[in-house]
């Protein structure tokens, strides 16, 4: 018996390969050099790989535009407009996250390339999740992502909270992964395939007399996704992990892990189980109502910046789920637009949070932000812009994202969901506003102004520029995302 290796389109895999390649290179360099690698070298290599991945997505975009969506590696990997756009978001977020981490490593005196390697590997898992067209491969991506993530959450060995939160995430994440693979097994039992396209085809052409197996499988997968995107009631880990993880890792989590998880969720729910939309919609509706409201309500109770941002991203997850709920192309476009607009903004926010947090992540109480805008006018103003963007003020991307999701939702007939989400946005507004207000009070003027290292400055400037420029004219990005979802599914 001979084994036939499937044909592989390497352009589709190039971003993934670049990141894994860079991680491996760093690994060998660490092993083969005499001294520890300097952070500058390792960051440069990692950033080069991330940027390379980002540029590759343009090539992919070109190819998808000209030849349509394709699958490769025995239909396990897909390259369509949606995956390309999500990959672009993830690779650009990785660039930002690495730059933030670079300054953090300098502050904490972590030399070497371990962090960069793990970040690259975790991101490669996220990329795999956006491209996986097979549930088993998706599981692989999920695990690559998670295992690397457990390590970098615990990266600061000197900080007890860091290890504690990693442990928490590991235990719960392990459960989620197990639940997911069990769901995959049941779905396989019901349909005879793990391929998302084949699953969709099977469900479209067959009527299941006993859908119990499929329902259970789909439900379990949904729980795993809800866990990863921090939807209530599967969010309990997120404030602890956000608080405990080193701040650059928190930023990494809020943009890359989140984006990858949403991409996979959209792929499975819409592309794979799209025919069952009337079955899963009510469950999503419950998740939306709980996530938006609980996230917003708990955000205003927090006295810690990172916990506040954790609950805020729970609430933002609810908004994205609103787009998924629709099951329409417009809804998916709106959801991916939301991810694309949220990721840079949240990374810029965490860049500032990391700076204020200082050595050992010691200063994350909201009191530490009082008077920040008086001591560091530019940082204060930037943080104000980023927070107001998350609040959803017009002329910032946050508004455009909310608007797109609401329009898609109302278009699909879910006005109640839209109203609930906006009520939550008003509640969350209090949290952001209180924080913003505290930046401008005339207190703590005698404290030393923050020193803003170069890499962080780049990240903050770019994210603020992104929030404002795209906020004023979002049309090019909306046309990309809506074009991308038309190229959804091979």
Partner 1 sequence: MHSSLWLSALLFVPLVGAIVAQLVRRSDGRAYLVAVACATVELALSAVVAVLYNPGVAGAQGFDFAYRLVLSAPLGLAYDVAVDGISLWLVVLTALTALIALLAARDRRNEASYVTWQLVLMGVTMGCFVTHDLLAFFIFFELILIPCYFMMTQWGGEGRQAAAMKFFLYTFTGSAFMLIALIFLAITHQHQVGGPLTFAYGALAQTALSSSTATWIFIGMAVAFAVKAPLWPLHTWSPSTYAEAPAATGIILAALLSKLGSYGLLRFCVGLLPSALPTMRPILLTLAVVSILYGSLVACTAKDLRRFIAYSSLAQMGFVTLGVMSGSRIGTEGAVLLMLNHGIITIGVFVLVGYLERRQLSGRVAALRGLQKPMPVLAGLFTLFMLATMGLPGLNGFVSEYLILIGTFGTHAWWALAATLGVVGSAVYWLWVYQRAFHGPVAPENATLTDVTTAERLALLPIAALVIVLGVLPQTVLHRIDPAVSILSTHVAPSGVSK
Instruction: Report the nearest approach of partner 1 to the CB of residue 346 (Å).
Output: 21
The two structure tokens encoding residue 148: 């690397």
Instruction: Report the nearest approach of partner 1 to the CB of residue 307 (Å).
Output: 20
Instruction: Report the nearest approach of partner 1 to the CB of residue 88 (Å).
Output: 19
- Asked whether position 297 contacts partner 1 by CB under 8 A, the answer is no
The interface mask with partner 1, positions 329-368, x = CB under 8 A, is ----------------------------------------
- Asked whether position 388 contacts partner 1 by CB under 8 A, the answer is yes
Sign of the torsion angle spanned by Cα atoms 127, 58, 82, 252: positive
Local structure of residue 70 (DSSP, 8 states): E
Instruction: Report the nearest approach of partner 1 to the CB of residue 479 (Å).
Output: 7
- Asked whether position 426 contacts partner 1 by CB under 8 A, the answer is yes
Q: Which stretch binds partner 1 (CB under 8 A): 5-13, 158-166, 208-216, 411-419?
A: 411-419
Local structure of residue 271 (DSSP, 8 states): I
Q: Which stretch binds partner 1 (CB under 8 A): 26-34, 114-122, 348-356, 413-421?
A: 413-421
Out of 410, 452, 465, 468, point to the residue binding partner 1 (CB under 8 A).
410
Closest Cα partner for 173 from 118, 241, 244, 114?
241
- Give the containing element (helix H, strand E) for 176: helix 160-191
Asked if residues 95 and 34 have their Cβ atoms less than 8 Å apart, the reply is no
Site for partner 1 in 428-467 (CB under 8 A): 429-430, 433-434, 437, 440-441
Out of 81, 246, 357, 474, point to the residue binding partner 1 (CB under 8 A).
474
Out of 407, 452, 458, 465, point to the residue binding partner 1 (CB under 8 A).
407
- Asked whether position 379 contacts partner 1 by CB under 8 A, the answer is no
Closest Cα partner for 131 from 78, 56, 193, 190?
78
Instruction: Report the nearest approach of partner 1 to the CB of residue 76 (Å).
Output: 33
Q: Which stretch binds partner 1 (CB under 8 A): 41-49, 55-63, 176-184, 398-406?
A: 398-406
Instruction: Report the nearest approach of partner 1 to the CB of residue 387 (Å).
Output: 12
Instruction: Report the nearest approach of partner 1 to the CB of residue 248 (Å).
Output: 30
Instruction: Report the nearest approach of partner 1 to the CB of residue 485 (Å).
Output: 11
- Count each helix (H run) and each strand (E run) in the chain, helices first: 20, 2
Asked if residues 348 and 464 have their Cβ atoms less than 8 Å apart, the reply is yes
Other Cβ atoms within 10 Å of 394 Cβ, number: 12
Give the span between the Cα atoms of 264 and 126, in whole angstroms.
Answer: 9
Give the span between the Cα atoms of 36 and 39, in whole angstroms.
Answer: 9
Give the span between the Cα atoms of 153 and 244, in whole angstroms.
Answer: 8
CA count, 13 A, side-chain hemisphere, 5: 3
Out of 324, 418, 460, 484, point to the residue binding partner 1 (CB under 8 A).
418
Asked if residues 408 and 326 have their Cβ atoms less than 8 Å apart, the reply is yes
- Is the CB of 15 or the CB of 417 nearer to partner 1? 417
- Asked whether position 285 contacts partner 1 by CB under 8 A, the answer is no
Local structure of residue 487 (DSSP, 8 states): T
Local structure of residue 195 (DSSP, 8 states): B
- Asked whether position 276 contacts partner 1 by CB under 8 A, the answer is no
- The residue whose two tokens read 């259970």 is 216
The two structure tokens encoding residue 274: 């799209």
Q: Which stretch binds partner 1 (CB under 8 A): 88-96, 104-112, 137-145, 425-433?
A: 425-433
Dihedral angle of Cα 160, 165, 170, 175, to the nearest 10 degrees = 140
With vertex at residue 216, the alpha carbon angle to CA 214 and CA 219, rounded to the nearest 5 degrees, is: 105
- Asked whether position 422 contacts partner 1 by CB under 8 A, the answer is yes
Asked if residues 266 and 327 have their Cβ atoms less than 8 Å apart, the reply is no
Instruction: Report the nearest approach of partner 1 to the CB of residue 320 (Å).
Output: 17
- The residue whose two tokens read 């060995």 is 157
- Asked whether position 425 contacts partner 1 by CB under 8 A, the answer is yes
Which residues contact residue 463 at a Cβ distance below 8 angstroms, ignoring those fewer than 6 apart?
96, 344, 345, 347, 348, 349, 351, 382, 386
The two structure tokens encoding residue 267: 């792929």
Q: Which stretch binds partner 1 (CB under 8 A): 65-73, 117-125, 128-136, 409-417?
A: 409-417
Out of 394, 445, 451, 454, point to the residue binding partner 1 (CB under 8 A).
394
- Is the CB of 173 or the CB of 371 nearer to partner 1? 371
Q: Which stretch binds partner 1 (CB under 8 A): 21-29, 262-270, 450-458, 469-477?
A: 469-477
Closest Cα partner for 356 from 121, 107, 128?
107
Q: How many residues in the shown chain lie near partner 1 by CB under 8 A?
A: 33
Residue ranges binding partner 1 (CB under 8 A): 388, 391, 393-395, 399-400, 403-404, 406-407, 410-411, 415, 418-419, 422-423, 425-426, 429-430, 433-434, 437, 440-441, 473-475, 478-479, 482
């Amino acid at each position: 018996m001979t084994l036939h290796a499937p044909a592989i389109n390497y352009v589709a895999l190039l971003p993934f390969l670049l990141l894994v390649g860079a991680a491996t290179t760093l690994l060998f360099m660490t092993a083969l050099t005499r001294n520890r690698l300097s952070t500058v070298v390792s960051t440069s290599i990692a950033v080069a790989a991330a940027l390379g991945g980002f540029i590759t997505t343009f090539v992919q975009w070109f190819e998808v535009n000209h030849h349509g969506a394709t699958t490769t590696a025995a239909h396990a990997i897909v390259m369509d407009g949606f995956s390309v756009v999500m990959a672009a978001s993830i690779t650009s977020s990785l660039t930002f996250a690495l730059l933030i981490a670079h300054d953090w490593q300098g502050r904490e005196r972590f030399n070497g390339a371990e962090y960069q390697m793990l970040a690259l590997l975790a991101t490669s898992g996220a990329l795999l999740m956006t491209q996986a067209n097979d549930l088993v491969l998706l599981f692989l991506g999920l695990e690559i992502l998670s295992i690397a993530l457990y390590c970098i959450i615990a990266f600061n060995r000197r900080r007890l909270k860091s290890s504690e939160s990693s442990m928490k995430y590991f235990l719960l994440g392990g459960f989620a992964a197990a639940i997911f693979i069990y769901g995959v097994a049941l779905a396989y039992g019901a349909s005879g395939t793990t391929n998302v396209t084949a699953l969709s085809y099977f469900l479209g052409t067959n009527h299941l007399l006993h859908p119990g197996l499929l329902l259970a499988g789909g439900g379990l997968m949904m729980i795993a996704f809800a866990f990863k995107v921090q939807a209530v009631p599967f969010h309990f880990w997120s404030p602890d992990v956000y608080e405990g993880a080193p701040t650059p890792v928190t930023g990494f989590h809020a943009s890359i892990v989140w984006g990858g998880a949403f991409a996979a969720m959209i792929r499975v729910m819409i592309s794979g189980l799209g025919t069952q939309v009337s079955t899963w919609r009510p469950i999503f509706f419950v998740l939306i109502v709980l996530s938006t409201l609980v996230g917003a309500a708990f955000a205003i109770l927090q006295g810690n910046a990172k916990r506040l941002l954790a609950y805020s991203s729970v609430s933002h997850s609810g908004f994205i789920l609103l787009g998924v709920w629709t099951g329409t192309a417009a809804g998916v476009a709106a959801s991916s637009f939301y991810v694309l607009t949220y990721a840079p903004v949240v990374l810029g926010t965490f860049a500032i949070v990391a700076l204020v947090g200082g050595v050992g992540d010691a200063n994350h109480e909201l009191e530490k932000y009082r008077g920040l805008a008086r001591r560091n006018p530019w940082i204060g103003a930037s943080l104000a812009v980023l927070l107001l963007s998350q609040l959803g003020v017009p002329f910032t991307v946050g508004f455009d994202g909310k608007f797109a999701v609401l329009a898609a939702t109302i278009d699909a007939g879910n006005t109640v969901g839209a109203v609930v989400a906006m009520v939550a946005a008003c509640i969350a507004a209090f949290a952001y506003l209180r924080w913003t207000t505290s930046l401008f009070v005339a207190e703590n003027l005698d404290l030393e102004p923050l020193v803003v290292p170069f890499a962080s400055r780049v990240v903050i400037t770019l994210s603020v520029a992104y929030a404002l420029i795209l906020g004023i004219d979002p049309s090019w990005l909306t046309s990309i995302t809506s074009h991308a979802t038309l190229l959804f599914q091979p």
